[in-house]
Amino acid sequence: MEIQGSAAIVFGGASGLGEATARRLAAEGATVTVADLNAERTALVAGEIGGVAAITDVTDEASVQAAVDAAVSSSADGLRVCVCCAGLGNPIKLLGREGPTPLADFQRMINVNLIGTINALRLTAWAMTQNQPDAAGERGVCVNTASVAAYEGQIGQVAYSASKGGVVGLTLPVARELARSGIRVMTIAPGLFNTPMLAALPEEAKASLSASVPFPPRLGEPSEYADLVAHIVANGMLNGEVIRLDGAIRMAPR
């Protein structure tokens, strides 16, 4: 799939991995719709890359549909690339000091990270089915974001690991379903990345986390995630798979 001249949408595109991806796709010649809840950052990033700003809640059908419609309208060729980076990562244990953790805490995490991904996927995929196939028969590419926590969830990652495990699990069946429409589906499972989620940690904590990565012994940079997204879009044989982007880390229990 050619990035140049394509319309793309990045959910969670106002910060972190999503922002880096939006900027990379725009630099490659795509018209990017930045879909995010943070109105100020969404407008800023979209303005700087010459894209479209869409204030979006991935758990809300109408909100996502409006963002998809905006992306479709941004190009006469239709929406070709979807990247879903929207998500939550706050720690939640099964049991608290006073008893079981409130069910609503788990529901919110699953609703954003997993149901939100499915919501974005189903609406963008439908829009992509309306495209004319390119010379290779492709109509679109969808890239989802999981986490190494889907495989080695740490203590306090009950809801997060479950939600990201769900994203891993849906990758192949969705890729199989959409194959007949010429739409590829891939998932990236990042390890420890230098995103706003980790930026608030003390420097000693970040240094300790960096040292836990076998090689390179550092946090990943959002631009490296964006590089992989760009390669996935360009490489037509990548489909139905989860790629760990983690420097060979395997998370310890805590």
Coil, strand or helix at 84: strand
Question: Active-site positions?
Answer: 160
Work out the burial of residue 173: count CB atoms within 10 Å of its CB; fewer than 13 is exposed, 13-18 middle, 19 or more buried.
exposed
The encoded tokens of residue 6 equal 């394509």
Dist CA 113 CA 118 (whole Å): 9
Task: Please name which of 86, 70, 109, 119 lies closest in space to residue 10, comparing C-alpha atoms.
Answer: 86
Backbone torsions φ then ψ of 122, nearest 5 degrees: -65, -35
**Residues 232, 225: contact at Cβ < 8 Å?**
no
* φ/ψ (deg, to 5) at 231: -70, -40
Q: Which two tokens stand for residue 74?
A: 């941004």
3-state secondary structure of 32: strand
Alpha-carbon distance of 222 to 128, in angstroms, equals: 26
